[in-house]
Amino acid sequence: GNSVTQMEGPVTLSEEAFLTINCTYTATGYPSLFWYVQYPGEGLQLLLKATKADDKGSNKGFEATYRKETTSFHLEKGSVQVSDSAVYFCALTTSDGKYIFGTGTRLKVLA
Amino acid sequence: DAMVIQNPRYQVTQFGKPVTLSCSQTLNHNVMYWYQQKSSQAPKLLFHYYDKDFNNEADTPDNFQSRRPNTSFCFLDIRSPGLGDAAMYLCATSSQTGVVRATQYFGPGTRLLVL
């Protein structure tokens, strides 16, 4: 079946550090892949997406590349800020358009 | 700005007392979703509407119902809330369904507390 696996959190970094949050998936067919961010007490905001292999999604300094050969969609940012502290969800869409979410990774950035 | 709006942001209800959460959207999207999210967990899909066509997830309890009177509005009714229904409820919309590229846009959520 379809599934998404994210690295366990929390991830704690100092400001300006490099961020990687790992996401791997299992899917039949060719899913689209997404990263969402959830700030405390808020809904999910779309951060970036990629719809086919080798696509790179990017937004607000975050990037992720759809790697079909390794079934991965790792989230990266070169220099994190305190304001990036949030929970990050990786997700894929199935052929019927429904989302399969990962369990979420909490990021804490310290000043 | 086009958006998904949820009201209220916080809702307190009593055990067993019916409660309704509302969602509206200015995106003119065909599809509206309701998710339940418990603390430190991923959102769990309860059901969705494609236009007026209602689609229930197999494991959604009968206690949860939904109404969509028009394109813009969708309601979540919890007929007899239990303590286990305390959660964040998220509404999302999409312009497509049944399509692998469908992107969902979420509202800010309503946090439900059951006393």
Q: What is the mean pLDDT of residues B19-39?
A: 95
Among B34, B56, B103, most A C-beta atoms within 10 A, so best to mutate, is: B103
pLDDT tens string A17-68: 999 999 999 998 889 999 999 998 889 999 999 998 999 999 999 999 999 9
Among B49, B51, B59, B100, most A C-beta atoms within 10 A, so best to mutate, is: B100
Nearest residue in A to B38, CA atom: A103
Q: Cβ contacts (< 8 Å) between B48 and chain A: which residues?
A: 98
Q: What is the mean pLDDT of residues B76-87?
A: 96
Report pLDDT for A17.
97
What are the E-state strand segments in B1-115?
4-7, 10-13, 19-25, 31-37, 44-50, 53-56, 64-67, 73-78, 87-94, 105-106, 110-114
- Interchain CB contact of A93 with B (< 8 Å): yes
Report the mean per-residue pLDDT for chain B: 92
N-to-C CA span, chain A: 41
* Banded model confidence at residue B98, pLDDT cuts 50, 70, 90: low
Q: Tell me the nearest-neighbour CA distance from B91 into chain A, angstroms.
A: 9
Q: What is the mean pLDDT of residues B40-62?
A: 93
- Interchain CB contact of A28 with B (< 8 Å): no
Residue A71 has pLDDT above 90, yes or no: yes
Interchain contact, B106 vs A36, CB within 8 Å: yes
Q: Tell me the nearest-neighbour CA distance from A17 into chain B, angstroms.
A: 25
Q: What is the mean pLDDT of residues B50-57?
A: 93
Sheet of B73-78: strands edge to edge? B4-7, B19-25, B73-78, B64-67
Q: Is the separation of the CB atoms in B94 and B34 below 8 Å?
A: no
Q: Is the separation of the CB atoms in A34 and A92 below 8 Å?
A: yes
**Token pair of A53, please?**
């292999």
Nearest residue in B to A9, CA atom: B40
Report pLDDT for A96.
77
- Interchain CB contact of B5 with A (< 8 Å): no
Report pLDDT for B97.
60
Among B31, B104, B111, most A C-beta atoms within 10 A, so best to mutate, is: B104
B104: Cα within 13 Å, side-chain hemisphere = 37
Nearest residue in A to B36, CA atom: A43
Mean pLDDT lowest among A92-106, B33-47, B55-69, B91-105: B91-105
Report pLDDT for B1.
67
Report the mean per-residue pLDDT for chain A: 94
Q: What is the mean pLDDT of residues B17-25?
A: 97
Q: Tell me the nearest-neighbour CA distance from A79 into chain B, angstroms.
A: 25
